[in-house]
A and B are shown apart, each in its own frame.
Chain A
Amino acid sequence: MLSLIEKIVFLVLVAGSLGLAWVNFGKMFKAIGRGSRPILWGKAIRNWPKGLAVFLGQQTLFKTRPVVGGIHAVVAWGFTLYIAVNIIDVFYGFIPGFHFFSEHWFGQLYRLFVDIFSLFVLIGVKYFVFRRFISKDPKLETKEPVLLSTSARTGMKKDSFIVGMFILMHIGFRFVGASFEIAGHGPDPYQPGANLMALLWQSFDPVIIVYAEHVCWWLALGLILAFIPYFPYSKHAHLFMGPLNFMVREDRRSPAVFETIDFEDEKIEQFGSSKLEHLPQSQILDAYACIMCNRCQDACPAYTTGKELSPSAIEINKRYYLNEHLNDFSAGKDLDEPMSKWMLTEEAAWSCTTCGFCVEVCPVGNEPMVDILRMRQDLVMMESRFPEDAMDAFNKMENYGNPWGLSPQERETWMEGLNVPLMREKKKADVLYWAGCAGAYDNRGKDISRAVSQIFDKAGVDYACLGNEETCTGDSARRIGNEYLFQMMAMQNIEKFEEYGIKKIVTQCPHCLTTLKHDYAELGTELDVVHHSQFINDLVKEGKIAPQPSITEDVTYHDACYLGRHNGEYDAPRELIQSVLSDGHLVEMDRNKETGFCCGAGGGNMWYEINTGDRINYERFKEAADTKATTVATACNFCNIMMEDGLKVTGHEENMVVKDVAELVLEGLSDT
């Protein structure tokens, strides 16, 4: 189809486009390579099925916004198909008389498929352009008081416009080109859409039709050549970087758990991350994978209650900062600007409850929560800048072994009137029952501890408690960023475990669970730790206890983030609730399981106040009350405290109760 001159020009443009793309992608990967903790690129080969599942399966898009996800899938599949279409079109241009399986059924199917898919993609992209520029979906905006750089605010709109127009024109001109080909060579029953359009050109001079076909070919493929080097500057790079991000992401034991710091290593000059290059490479890659869809922002308990934090703003600011400084940063220059100035304000960093919702819903596998946790480490250990009340909690953990600063000799008060075996007397037991600080000091926590131990007694479990020998696991210290204090607390406990040869632990606190099971494993101590809901559920399944269905009204279950998203347990507490329901039902809140909404206490937020915006727990309690259930079941001491607070403030004291699943089970056992 093409003339010799056209062919030469095309090949020169291809070489130019690929050359420029090589340079730009090179800068991008050099920028990623400046991160502190190397990406193991070899993993990409091993994890190719995951990348393919994300790329072709689109499986990560449907956790939230399923309709938009579906339209995206159509556009994405269309775009993937167009990789093949473009190559075939180049052959068509270069080889005279070339037709892809022209009269073979495969060629017919191909043409039919491309014809229909082109129309779908055009409709899909028009919807997205409409949603962003005309109906202005508020989900695509980031509200005050979140820090979002001005270059990001204007740049995102510009980028979206360019990408939208590119797809519309690329696919549009290809489609129009096909219609001109039909006008010149006669109708093709396998391209119904293009046939219809060809009717428009019926009266055109054949010479004009040939010219028009050439112009369309050049626009469709020329746009691709122009776009390839632009990828590293566009959020559209997500189409490679998203799947790649899944393939090379760090293997974490739990979403908020990462490597410990070796304080003996004198070579370490920086704890945590202050500047961009302090972040691990995988966290810099996140900025290139981000498509700025704000799914994480919709999910975030801090953002949705009006605080300074938006997880997507972290990635967007990071990306625009990289775009602006790409030459200098990729060349290794020190930019010397702390991330708190341009990426995430300090207050925003403290607003994070580490609930992990942002990581869970991200369709490209980003982990904004990890950036926050690493920034907190820098603020605490390098800068000593953190909420005053957190200092108080640190001191109390260090001096009293619990964040409330209560006497370490009062950890056994919940046992009064019960016959709770103690490790120091019993010396050996199958199971260590870990009540945790809240289970030992908080009044409602004590109720839960009493319920658990009574259930154990009824089931004949061989267990014991550490009692006054127990000390805080260090969860809050670690999430707030005080790694040093965390390790100190951990060592005290690990020594105790070794003293008694403890291997198996049951705890009612999902934060203790995560810390004992995953954070301690990072320190080299592997323990078999299960949550009380899991352990008690097993007791029911094994027939060791048989709770009587006694609850006659509806129950709703509030997922604890550190049991659900951080440990993947959604079923055990629900099964326990089911086991004690007689007439009532288990009714779910809108946000449940993987998309459960935080109570507001996690990530150390229990110990200091963020006074911007509304209270997260009130918001969550209202959602629970909307189910019309009369019991809100929890599986975490802190959720219990937060939800009871919500119950009192929202005026439901008369008609609702908050109870731990263990308390519900014990009620079912009270007659036996």
Chain B
Amino acid sequence: MAKELANALNGELASSRPVVDAGWLPSSHQVGSSGQSVSPNLYIALGISGAIQHVVGMKGSKNIIAINKDADAPIFEIADYGVVGNVLDIVPKLTEVIKG
């Protein structure tokens, strides 16, 4: 699902450590203090809570959009645009719109 969105935007998929631990992505895609630092033009944080270990790897991004069901998640403090809602509902629709 996230991959479809990334493809639609011609972007790259990255993640925080738990996603790598679960084996969904190889460790080279891990962003954070023990991982890669990235600074793309657009960073879409899907369900990222905003823990400091991850944030230090992406805070240089020019535009940050955060989608998280928890309105108090710290990621919204650094996001330029934030959407409070379930990633599973929002992402497929977003992908559709971008593709369309």
The residues of A with any CB-CB pair to B shorter than 8 Å are 389, 392-393, 403-406, 441-443, 606-609, 611, 615, 618, 641, 645, 648-649
Structural contact, A645 and B17, CB atoms closer than 8 A: yes
The distance in angstroms between the C-alpha atoms of A649 and B20, with both chains bound, is: 11
Residue of A with least CB distance to B16: A645
A404/B51 contact (C-beta < 8 A), A389-B35, A609-B35, A645-B18 known: no
How many residues of chain B get a CB closer than 8 Å to chain A's CBs? 16
Q: Which residues of A contact B33 (CB under 8 A)?
A: 389, 392-393, 403-404, 606-607
Q: What's the nearest-Cβ distance from chain B to residue A116, in Å?
A: 57
A405/B51 contact (C-beta < 8 A), A393-B33, A443-B74 known: no
Structural contact, B51 and A406, CB atoms closer than 8 A: no
Q: Which residues of A contact B51 (CB under 8 A)?
A: 442-443, 641, 645
Q: Which residues of A contact B6 (CB under 8 A)?
A: none
Structural contact, B56 and A648, CB atoms closer than 8 A: no
A607/B27 contact (C-beta < 8 A), A442-B52, A443-B50, A641-B51 known: no
Q: What's the nearest-Cβ distance from chain A to residue B23, in Å?
A: 11
Q: What's the nearest-Cβ distance from chain B to residue A599, in Å?
A: 14
Residue of B with least CB distance to A649: B18
The distance in angstroms between the C-alpha atoms of A403 and B32, with both chains bound, is: 12
* B34 close to A (CB within 8 Å): yes
Q: What's the nearest-Cβ distance from chain A to residue B77, in Å?
A: 9
The distance in angstroms between the C-alpha atoms of A406 and B33, with both chains bound, is: 11
Q: A406-B56, A607-B33 are known contacts; what are 14 more A-B pairs with Cβ within 8 Å?
A: A392-B37, A393-B33, A404-B52, A404-B56, A442-B51, A443-B50, A443-B52, A443-B74, A607-B34, A609-B35, A641-B53, A648-B18, A649-B18, A649-B21
Q: Which residues of B contact A607 (CB under 8 A)?
A: 33-34
The distance in angstroms between the C-alpha atoms of A405 and B53, with both chains bound, is: 11
Partner of B34, one of A389, A406, A648, A649: A389
A-B contact pairs, 25 of them (CB 8 A): A389-B33, A389-B34, A404-B33, A404-B53, A404-B56, A406-B52, A441-B52, A442-B52, A443-B50, A443-B51, A606-B33, A606-B34, A607-B33, A607-B34, A608-B34, A609-B27, A609-B34, A611-B27, A615-B21, A618-B21, A645-B17, A645-B51, A648-B18, A649-B21, A649-B22
The residues of B with any CB-CB pair to A shorter than 8 Å are 17-18, 21-22, 27, 30, 33-35, 37, 50-53, 56, 74
Q: What's the nearest-Cβ distance from chain A to residue B81, in Å?
A: 20
Residue of B with least CB distance to A404: B56
The distance in angstroms between the C-alpha atoms of A405 and B44, with both chains bound, is: 22
Q: What's the nearest-Cβ distance from chain B to residue A54, in Å?
A: 41
The distance in angstroms between the C-alpha atoms of A648 and B56, with both chains bound, is: 20
The distance in angstroms between the C-alpha atoms of A607 and B35, with both chains bound, is: 9
Q: Which residues of B contact A404 (CB under 8 A)?
A: 33, 52-53, 56
Ranked nearest first, the 5 interchain pairs of A and B with the lowest CB-CB distance are A442-B52, A609-B34, A443-B74, A404-B56, A389-B34
The distance in angstroms between the C-alpha atoms of A606 and B21, with both chains bound, is: 15
The distance in angstroms between the C-alpha atoms of A385 and B74, with both chains bound, is: 36
Q: What's the nearest-Cβ distance from chain B to residue A575, in Å?
A: 30
Q: Which residues of A contact B18 (CB under 8 A)?
A: 645, 648-649
Residue of A with least CB distance to B75: A443
Q: Which residues of A contact B37 (CB under 8 A)?
A: 392
The distance in angstroms between the C-alpha atoms of A615 and B23, with both chains bound, is: 13
Residue of A with least CB distance to B50: A443
The distance in angstroms between the C-alpha atoms of A645 and B53, with both chains bound, is: 11
The distance in angstroms between the C-alpha atoms of A649 and B16, with both chains bound, is: 12
Q: Which residues of B contact A403 (CB under 8 A)?
A: 33
Q: Which of A392, A609, A648, A649 has the most CB of B within 10 A?
A: A609
Q: Which residues of B contact A393 (CB under 8 A)?
A: 33
The distance in angstroms between the C-alpha atoms of A185 and B32, with both chains bound, is: 83
The distance in angstroms between the C-alpha atoms of A580 and B17, with both chains bound, is: 34
The distance in angstroms between the C-alpha atoms of A618 and B21, with both chains bound, is: 10
Q: What's the nearest-Cβ distance from chain B to residue A591, in Å?
A: 22
Q: What's the nearest-Cβ distance from chain A to residue B65, in Å?
A: 20
The distance in angstroms between the C-alpha atoms of A290 and B44, with both chains bound, is: 54
Structural contact, A405 and B56, CB atoms closer than 8 A: yes
Q: What's the nearest-Cβ distance from chain A to residue B10, in Å?
A: 28
The distance in angstroms between the C-alpha atoms of A611 and B37, with both chains bound, is: 18
Q: Which residues of B contact A406 (CB under 8 A)?
A: 52, 56
Residue of B with least CB distance to A614: B21
Q: Which residues of A contact B50 (CB under 8 A)?
A: 443
Q: Which residues of B contact A441 (CB under 8 A)?
A: 52
Q: Which residues of B contact A611 (CB under 8 A)?
A: 27
Q: What's the nearest-Cβ distance from chain B to residue A391, in Å?
A: 12
Q: Which of A441, A443, A615, A618 has the most CB of B within 10 A?
A: A443
